[in-house]
């Protein structure tokens, strides 16, 4: 739940951020009080750094920190040398983006990273050695045995040994966006009836490939409607009015890396090396929210009515399952929202004895699939 807040806009080089839908990364905040006072900037709070602040997820970090009134005594905005010097206004204070260096983490308690795997691999351990707790949004450390892979609503106990104020740094990994969205819905059912096998088909938005992909989708849409040849710099093929297999590299087993992330990360997060998971990941021309079709096979019977009740009570989940009105979750409906939406909850007719369910899940890839989950991890450190 968001605290009441005055709307704050981010500024780049002193100019207001563009108003294009793909760049409006901040959800509309509650405005129950036009004169509410922010208490997030406090001397007794941790110091924060945002690494990759100029990217889509970096900007969303700022939105989520502000929306949730995350307490901080200072905030450092870090990016590449190319972006250094840009100015941002955050909660009425102006900040200058600094170049990320090995010295950037002195005195920083929590660092939120979203600058790509290579940057995380280089600077994440440096930050941790400086005493900083790093929450990393890349795949760099997710499968490292000593690094917790955390969804706060699913496995908070995985990071229970990490504390602020001890002077000891640590690495915590944010799962892949498709894994987060899938497990937010499937875990409550797994706890009740134990998932033996999960089959996932994803329909993934442009936001998963970053701000440049979102911009190109918008550009291509205009170009195609105007009868022009579409600009294909990000995906090397037409994205507007099209869909294709996820652009991640294809491995020797025929799966792509995105699909194997879902397989491996699910086993680690559930601490269940035997659960069977298979996935097919597809890129669709949607701006910023992923959709997933999930088929579940259970060890114990679970009927659809009980499943629906379980999901209605699950934290961070909203059920949209109106059969009479044919209304179910859509990417547009969950865009800029914190909750993951679940619908199409139905018994799997191919499995006997109520041992199978089908569900359809939608979640904002930039928000719960990335920035929100990372900030919730940081909140658990407070």
Give CA–CA dist 103/79, Å, rounded. 13
Query: Between the CA of residue 359 and those of 9, 104, 295, 310, 311, what are the distances in Å?
Result: 37, 44, 7, 13, 11
> Tokens 């981010």 label which residue?
10
Active site residue 177: yes
- Side-chain half-sphere of 357: how many Cα atoms within 13 Å? 29
Active site residue 290: yes
Cβ–Cβ < 8 Å for 122, 100:
no
Structure tokens at 127: 């930050």
The secondary structure element, H or E, covering residue 331 is: helix 331-334
- Give the C-alpha separation, 244 to 247, whole Å: 8
Catalytic residue among 182, 190, 281, 290: 290
- Which one of the listed residues 130, 177, 182, 362 is annotated catalytic? 177
SS3 for 327? Answer: strand
Q: Which residue has the tokens 């134990």?
A: 194
Closest CA to 321 of 305, 345, 290, 347: 345
Active site residues: 177, 290
């Amino acid at each position: 739940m968001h605290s009441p807040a005055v709307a704050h806009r981010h500024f780049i080089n002193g100019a207001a951020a563009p108003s294009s839908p793909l760049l409006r990364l901040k959800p509309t905040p509650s405005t129950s009080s036009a004169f509410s006072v922010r208490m997030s900037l406090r001397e007794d709070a941790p110091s924060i750094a945002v690494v990759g602040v100029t990217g889509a997820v970096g900007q969303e970090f700022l939105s989520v920190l502000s929306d949730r009134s995350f307490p901080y005594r200072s905030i450092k905005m870090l990016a590449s040398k190319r972006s250094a010097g840009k100015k941002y206004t955050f909660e009425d204070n102006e900040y200058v983006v600094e170049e990320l260096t090995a010295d950037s983490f002195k005195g920083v308690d929590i660092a939120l990273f979203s600058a790509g795997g290579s940057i995380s691999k280089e600077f994440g351990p440096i930050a941790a050695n400086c005493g900083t707790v790093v929450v990393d949004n890349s795949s760099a450390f997710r499968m490292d045995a000593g690094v917790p892979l955390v969804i706060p609503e699913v496995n908070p106990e995985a990071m229970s040994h990490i504390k602020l104020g001890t002077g000891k740094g640590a690495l915590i990994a944010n799962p892949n966006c498709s894994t987060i969205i899938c497990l937010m819905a499937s875990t409550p059912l797994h706890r009740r009836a134990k998932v033996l096998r999960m089959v996932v088909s994803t329909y993934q938005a442009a936001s998963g490939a970053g701000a440049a992909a979102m911009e190109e989708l918008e550009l291509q849409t205009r170009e195609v409607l105007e009868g022009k040849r579409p600009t294909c710099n990000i995906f090397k093929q037409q994205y507007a009015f099209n869909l294709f297999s996820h652009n991640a590299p294809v491995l020797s087993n025929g799966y792509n890396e995105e699909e194997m992330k879902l397989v491996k990360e699910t086993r680690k997060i559930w601490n269940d090396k035997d659960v069977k998971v298979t996935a097919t990941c597809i890129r669709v021309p949607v701006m910023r929210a992923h959709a997933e079709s999930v088929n579940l096979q259970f060890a114990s019977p679970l009927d659809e009515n009980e499943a629906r009740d379980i999901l209605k009570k699950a934290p961070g989940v909203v059920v949209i399952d109106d059969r009479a009105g044919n209304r179910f979750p859509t990417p547009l409906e969950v865009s800029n929202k914190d909750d993951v939406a679940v619908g199409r909850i139905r018994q799997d007719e191919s499995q006997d004895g109520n041992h199978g369910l089908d569900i359809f899940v939608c979640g904002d890839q930039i928000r719960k699939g990335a920035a929100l989950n990372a900030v919730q991890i940081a909140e658990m450190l407070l």
